[in-house]
Structure 1
């Protein structure tokens, strides 16, 4: 038997294996296209993970869970630990759970010929269809029976599905981004997948994933414009072959090819790329394609550009450059009582200023005049969408508001974002930040970290959907967060032991950052492609992104002795 207990803030629910989401964890490893059917785990060659002769039953069971992370040839290595009857009946594709560790306990009544083990583990996530990771927070429990066959212990009874420890996720799989356009067709959005490392051809595996479409979580925020008959037909003489493209417009072909080129390039598949559709170049007249052909859609642009640094101080907004800090030239440079500011790379600004018992949202150019847009008892720090013409804030009644500047009149119009998906969570949103693409949102609610995706239900309509809790081990200590250019999330906390954390974009890993001289609470975090910034109880500090080998942060040059919140204009 198997039991999954999943913990929620509102209580505890018990789920049986029959209600778990089904999903395969590995991509097909052969080079034949698998574009129009579900993924089936397959491998390149037999592995050496079979059982050792004379292995004790508890050690053999542990070896089985290690081998379960290898999907090669329909989990051939894991099946070798089972009796022939169990190997035939076991269905590994039922579900795939990732646990912190596997704990074993022998049940009463075991004999020298037959053993029964109670297996437990803290569930931290699952791999869904196409290798998409989804965080979980629960307990895995199962009863496994072993018996002697020909003098060797083998597993005779076990539940369907795959379970392995988090270390095997990193050992056996590698994270890769498959790219899709956002719903507006403006920007490429990464859909992170875990691909089995034993794939012979990573490029064809990623193309298969792309043809299958976005993951369940990301689907509402992105689009897939391929016709139903479109298929990947493999690689011939170095050219990627596709069929069923005859009805696609030139614009749709360009978008598809941009997705393809950047998916391959970001996986370090060298170009140029030859892409054929129905026997002809997918784009007329272009035999070979490179990332230069689609430079406008570079998903790394946010992580490769030099982002200007600003700072919010008690005296206004300052520009920080060349180890000095000087007030910006507009009204914000000398405005007091500012609570928060956000600035885009185009120098569009949004600021929240305290006015008596209310907070006021001010919008405008960084060095120009600002206009009052909203008033509320409290307003969270503004966060901009991709095109900088729209921003989001949360008001005192937990209403999330989207404000848009009219290109025709220059006036601002506000509408409410649908947050029905947050109702079961409860509590106030203290921080809300949109990702660089605008397709995802990260929030702090009652000190806990949540993410969601942004669904466009119609012109001007937005909803937050597919909400997940990330990094539950932080408890209720989170105070500040922001997206890093690589898609991960920085989180500042009130914990003196671990005041600053990094969370992977899919929640698959959470790691504390060096904090030798950081004094909690960390009330502000920010990041550029090269530097991480924070404001702790004493000052504004910085550390290189690759500075994990040092435990000390330095004061931000130009902000020494000044209470300030660093702002990176992405």
Structure 2
């Protein structure tokens, strides 16, 4: 379907090719969609109270949904063969037989050569299938399929949204076999999947890689075919961190280590995932083997705390010592709120005066608040030209023109913007690092937020192409000096982005403002959001949001609306009022 790493031929259908009347692949795919609600049987009631957390709930597998496609029909014409193939391919990712039925539509060696997941295009609407006219004696034929692609998965399961749905066309060559049946003899690798089928066909999976100091896990969101997802997840863990996280996270196994058996089953008797690896794994140091086992246990957890694993090298079970594992990503501490010039924390939805002394050091116009873990330090932006420390002795952290709202990482480093194309990172001892990256060149930063484990940073910037949101690895040298790795672009569908917050281990909240002054809140995923389609979505219910506070925890999402009222989002999706007259809000960490 799609050539690996590309979107094949991006062009609308050409009406002047002498094709027969086009038909849309709709009814057969709709039948596949109709299987999905069966998974809802036996679900518990939907909660209607309590705070909401976004982006973390999609990893629990509520039973398997199996789509059963039809194979080729005798006497089917080229159009119907391609239509049947497209429908059968969409059933492959969560079918025990995988793509066996889809391959029945292929001719000769194509059944073995076709790689269905080299590129996966998530489309909306219908597939328009058009066949060039052929006479009854023809032995070859050409069929074209056009879809509106909203997102893609690459060969490693990383999800990327399109800014707007893109019309994509692909071409199929067919031959008539000796028995008179049409089969597909030429096609591109990859497949199409209807957006309504996406989350029932591909499983949201977080890979975990340790930070360079082995203290925390760095989550990396992927989507794998539901049938065999554990195998794909282990393969990607063995491959090490993706390019954008290299230097911020590390791999755990020696080069050349691979799966010895192309399956990762869970033993029904022991409940342990069995991972059989090649010989290099046996050469690992004991502590490294324990780290790798913990990495697989976290990655394969399937909604549980961990998944026990048994490791083999050359069919020999390898002992795994009980060693402390890195910690999961989490924002520690309650939200901080500025009300009537006094700092408070939000405790049980009530404002409680902050228990420690703070020093305002001449702050005249507090416009943004940030704090490190355990509220050390707490800093405030004064106007837009300086950042001041409120705790730990006070003092000016840094100054500059149009500084963005600061973020404090787990090392106590305060991050803000600098000149166009640069960031400032100020260490606890006051050392200012100017952080640059080629991909930020010529762009003005309007918002940033470091993730709780300190290995990733989300950045909103504006340049000639308008606002965009990137997430990059934070790379620290042996001297601790921070730098940026390569970025991944996220939230392409979100317009007019201005500020950003981490709201889950792999999800963000984005505050937007358009030219009319309308502001809004969007939830987006780094590698796809935990929704049925994986795409970003706008959160309604707050009139003119002015500030956001979110974290990787269970304390909720907070916003200050245009009237200065602090509200928190509940599980029901409604926003509950906490306090009027609030000026600033921020999570610690």
Bin for the TM-score computed over the shorter chain: 0.7 to 0.9
Q: Paired residue for 2:147, among 117, 121, 131?
A: 121
SS at match of 2:458: strand
In the alignment, which of 201, 215, 220 is matched to residue 191 of structure 1? 220
- 1:501–1:510 contact (8 Å) kept in structure 2: no
1:125-172 C-alpha deviation (Å, 9 max, x unpaired) = 433344333445555222335577767664454334333333343221
Cα distance in structure 1, aligned partners of 2:564 and 2:335: 16
Distance in 1 separating the partners of 2:417 and 2:483: 14
CA–CA separation in structure 2 for the residues paired with 1:537 and 1:127 = 38
Distance 1:542 1:57 in 2: 58
Determine helix, strand or coil for the equivalent of 1:210.
helix
State the partner residue of 1:504. Answer: 525
Aligned to 1:226: 253
Question: Which secondary structure does the structure 2 equivalent of 1:68 belong to?
Answer: helix
Q: How do residues 408-419 of structure 1 correspond to structure 2 at under 5 angstroms?
A: 411-419=429-437
Asked if 1:422 corresponds to 2:422, the answer is no
Of 298, 306, 326 in structure 2, the residue corresponding to residue 297 of structure 1 is 326
Post-superposition offset of 1:502: 1.2
2:338 to 308, 312, 323: 312
Question: Are residues 1:466 and 2:486 paired?
Answer: yes
Aligned residue pairs total: 503
Deviations 1:89-120 (A, max 9, x none): 64546544434455426366566778654433
Alignment check: 8 A CA contact 1:493 1:522 kept: no
Taking a change above 3 Å as real, the CA distance of residues 399 and 48 of structure 1, as seen in their structure-2 partners, is closer
Match of 1:488 among 495, 507, 510: 507
Counterpart for residue 40 of structure 1: none
Counterpart residue number, 1:354:
382
Aligned to 1:345: 373
Specify the alignment match of 2:31 in structure 1. none
Q: Distance in 2 between matches of 1:61 and 1:280?
A: 47
Task: Give the counterpart of 1:177 among 187, 206, 210.
Answer: 206
CA distance in structure 2 between the partners assigned to 1:175 and 1:221 by the alignment = 22
Q: Evaluate the alpha carbon distance shift between residue 54 and residue 246 of structure 1 in structure 2; reply closer, same or farther with a 3 A threshold.
A: closer
Per the TM alignment, residue 273 of structure 1 is displaced from its structure 2 partner at its CA by 4.7
Trace 1:317-336 onto structure 2 (pairs within 5 A): 317-322=343-348, 323-326=350-353, 329-332=357-360, 335-336=363-364
Q: Does 1:567 align with 2:589?
A: no
Change (3 A) 1:183 1:4: closer
Change (3 A) 1:94 1:298: closer
2:475 is the alignment partner of 1:455:
yes
| 2:408 aligned with 1:379 | no
What secondary structure, in the 3-state scheme, does the structure 2 residue paired with 1:198 have? coil
TM value normalised by structure 2: 0.72
Whether the 8 Å contact between 1:541 and 1:553 is mirrored in structure 2 is: no
Alignment match of 1:164 (pick from 170, 176, 193) = 193
SS in 1 for 2:504: coil
- The SS at the match of 1:490 is strand
Aligned counterparts of 1:280 and 1:115: Cα–Cα separation in 2? 54
**Stretch moving more, 413-422 or 51-60:** 51-60
Where do 5+ consecutive residues of structure 2 fail to align? 12-65
User: Does structure 2 retain, via aligned residues, the 8 Å contact 1:317–1:334?
Assistant: no
Q: Which moved more, 1:387-396 or 1:329-338?
A: 329-338
CA distance in 2, matches of 1:218, 1:5: 19
For 1:231 and 1:143, how far apart are their aligned partners in 2? Answer: 35
Query: Which stretch has the larger CA shift, 224-233 or 148-157?
Result: 148-157
1:394 and 2:417 matched: yes
1:431, CA displacement in angstroms? 0.2
* Counterparts of 2:468 and 2:222, CA distance in 1: 25
Specify whether residues 80 and 414 from structure 1 end up closer, same or farther in structure 2 by C-alpha distance, changes over 3 A only.
same
| 1:414 to partner: Cα distance | 1.4
| d(CA) in 2 for partners of 1:178, 1:299 | 12
CA contact under 8 A between 2:334 and 2:587: conserved in structure 1?
Answer: yes
Please say if residues 4 and 14 of structure 1, whose CA atoms lie closer than 8 Å, have aligned partners that are also in contact.
Answer: no
Deviation at 1:525, TM superposition (A): 4.1
Question: In the alignment, is the contact (CA less than 8 A) between 2:120 and 2:154 conserved in 1?
Answer: yes
Residue 48 to residue 102, structure 1, CA distance change in 2 (3 Å):
closer
Determine if contact 2:373/2:588 at 8 Å carries over to the other structure. Answer: yes
1:404 matches 2:420: no
User: Partner residue of 1:546?
Assistant: 571
Give structure 1 stretches of 5+ with no counterpart: 8-12, 16-44, 406-410
Corresponding residue SS for 1:261: helix
What are the superposed Cα offsets for residues 511-541 of structure 1, whole Å, 9 maximum, x if unpaired?
Answer: 43541x4223544342442411122322344
Task: Report what 1:244 is aligned to.
Answer: 280
Contact 1:311 1:318 in 2 (8 A): yes
Residue matched to 2:319: 282
- Matched residues in 1 for 2:304 and 2:122: separation? 27
The question of whether the paired residues in 1 share the 8 Å contact of 2:523 and 2:539 is answered with no
How far apart in 1 are the matches of 2:156 and 2:492?
25
For the 8 Å contact 2:118–2:154, the answer to whether it is kept is: no
Q: Give a deviation string over 1:465-513, Cα, whole Å, max 9, x none.
A: 33233222223x2233211133211122236999222112213523435
Is 1:433 aligned to residue 469 of structure 2? no
Residue 246 of structure 1 and its aligned partner are, at CA, apart by: 5.3
Q: TM-score, normalised by structure 1?
A: 0.75
Q: Alpha carbons of 1:300 and 1:351: their partners in 2 closer, same or farther (altered >3 Å)?
A: closer
Aligned residue for 2:21? none
Comparing 138-147 with 181-190, greater Cα deviation is found at 138-147
- The alpha carbon displacement at 1:346 in A equals 1.5
Given the superposition, is the C-alpha separation of residues 49 and 379 from structure 1 closer, same or farther in structure 2, using an over 3 Å criterion? farther
